[in-house]
Amino acid sequence: MNVLIIGSGGREHAICVSCKKSTEVKQIFCMPGNAGTDQISKNVLIDLDNFKEIVKFVKKNKIDLVIVGPEKPLVDGIVDFLEKNKIKVFGPNKIASKLEGSKIFTKKLCEKYKIPTANFGIFNTSQEANDFIENCKLPIVVKADGLASGKGVYICNQKEEALIAIKEIFNGKFGLAKEILIEEFLNGEEMSFFIISDGKTYFPFGTAQDHKRVLEGDKGKNTGGMGAYSPSRLENESLNNKILNKIIKPTLKGLEDLNTNFKGFLYAGLMIVENEPFLIEYNVRMGDPECQTILPKLKTDFLKLIKACVNNNLNSINLEWYDDKSLCIVLCSKGYPDEYKNNLEIKNMENIKLNQNEFIFHAGTKKEKDKILSNGGRVLNFVVRSDSFKNNREKAINLINQINWENGFFRGDIGYKVID
Ligand code: AMP
Ligand code: GLY
C-alpha cells in the first residue's frame, strides 16, 4: 500500500513508524512531515488548506490510503472532500468532527443524551455572560467555542479573570464568537481515553495521562502536552464500562441520529471524580503526546487495522497490545509555550543508540542539508516501554541527557502520580 500521512508532529512521526513496520506498506508520504518522517518516508510540501492539490497529489502518486493526524483539516472537512474524490481516508467526516470543532455542539449533545459533563451555560452576549459571573461559584471555566490550539480555555479563580476571558473571546481572540461557554470547574483527575471506530464497530484504544502544564508539579501555563504515560493509573474495568456506557455509546448514538457516524480515532478528555467519568472535551484524533506513548504498545499490524477501519470491517481485526507500561517525555524549545526560537541545530542525534523498546519521535524538527534544526515549540519525544514507569522515565531522561541540547527543556516529573 502507498500511504499518505497528513501532519507534522510527534503523533504523525509515531504513526509513520507504525506504518513502516507493517507488512502491507510500500511507500509512505508525509505532508508536511518533519526531520523524523524524512528518514523513513518522503516529505511533501503542500498547503494543508488546499484540498484540491492534495487530491491531485494522491491520484498522481497512486496513494491507497490517507491518514489524517491533526484536527484542523478534519474540522475543515478533508475527509468528505477526499471521499467525494473516491480516495480512501482514515478520519471522521466534517459533521462528526464537530465533536472537537465546536465545544457547544458537544455540550448540547451531552445535554440531549444525558452524558455526564460539567454543568454549563451558553451565552450570546458579553452582558449576559458578565451577569452570570456576578453570582457564580468560583473557580469557573470560560471557553471559546471553536478550535483554539488548546488556548481557548480559561480557568478563572476570580471574577475579574472571567470578565477578561469573556471580553477576549467576544473580541475575537479565537475567531468570530457568537456564543460563549461557561462551565462549572470539576475537581478530579484527568484521563485521556481513546477508541478506534469504523462507524459500526469500535474498540477501546488505550488510556493515558497527559501533563499539560509547562512546569514540574503541574505549574505554569497550559501547553499541547509535555509528556504522558499509558495506561492511566485510573484505569479499571468498572470505570471503563462507565466510560463506554455513559459517554462513548450515547455519543455514537447521537451521531447516528444525525445520520452520520464516527470513523477514526475518538479521544475523550475526561475528568474522573471518585471513579465517575465526566466528559471535559472530545478530540477527533489521537492525542499528542498520547499517540507516541500508546502506539509502541500496539502489537497488531497498524496498517491492517487502519485499512480494516476504512473498509468498514474492523470486526475482522483481533486487536492486541503489549501488556506493559509506556512513558513519553517531550523535549521543548526554551520559551515554549510562549515565544521560542526556530532553526537552532540539534546535534548528537546520530550518536544515540536506542535499545529495544526505546523510541525517539520527532515533532518540531526539520532537516536542512545534513543538519537537524528545531522547527516548533515541542521538538522531540522520548518514549520508553517496560514493566516499570520509573525505569521508563529514567531511561527517557538518560536519552535526553545524551542529546544535551542547550536550547531544550523538559519536565523531569512526567508520571509523578504513578512513580513518586
Ligand atoms: P481543553 O482545551 O478543553 O482540553 O481544556 C484544557 C484544560 O482545561 C483541560 O485539560 C483541563 O485540565 C482544564 N479544564 C477544562 N474544562 C474544565 C472543567 N470544567 N473543570 C476543570 N478543568 C477543566
Ligand atoms: N495532548 C492533548 C491533545 O492532543 O490535545
Helix (H) or strand (E) holding 220: strand 219-222
Report the nearest atom of ligand 1 relative to the CA of 150.
Answer: 2
At residue 76, the 3 state secondary structure works out as coil
Distance 147 CA to ligand 2 centre (A): 12
- The pLDDT of 63-70, averaged and rounded, is 98
Answer whether residue 150 shows pLDDT above 80. Answer: no
- The amino acid occupying position 7 is G
Report the nearest atom of ligand 2 relative to the CA of 150.
Answer: 5
Q: How far is residue 344's CA from residue 346's CA, in Å, rounded to a whole number?
A: 7
Ligand 1 contact, 280 CB (< 6 A):
yes
Ligand 2 contact, 33 CB (< 6 A):
no
Question: What is the pLDDT confidence band of residue 62, given thresholds at 50, 70 and 90?
Answer: very high
Q: What is the pTM of this model?
A: 0.97
Output the pLDDT for position 148. 86
pLDDT digits (tens, 9 = 90+) for 353-396: 999 999 999 999 999 999 999 999 999 999 999 999 999 999 99
pLDDT digits (tens, 9 = 90+) for 156-198: 999 999 999 999 999 999 999 999 999 999 999 999 999 999 9
Distance 23 CA to ligand 1 centre (A): 40
Question: What is the pLDDT confidence band of residue 44, given thresholds at 50, 70 and 90?
Answer: very high
Distance 140 CA to ligand 1 centre (A): 11
Q: How far is residue 250's CA from residue 243's CA, in Å, rounded to a whole number?
A: 10
In a mutational test of the pocket of ligand 1, which residue from 222, 280, 285 has the highest number of ligand atoms less than 8 Å from its CB? 280
Answer whether residue 226 shows pLDDT above 80. Answer: yes
Q: Which residues in 247-352 belong to E strands, given as ranges?
A: 263-273, 276-283, 325-333
Report the nearest atom of ligand 2 relative to the CA of 283.
Answer: 5
Ligand 2 contact, 71 CB (< 6 A):
no
- The pLDDT of 3-9, averaged and rounded, is 98
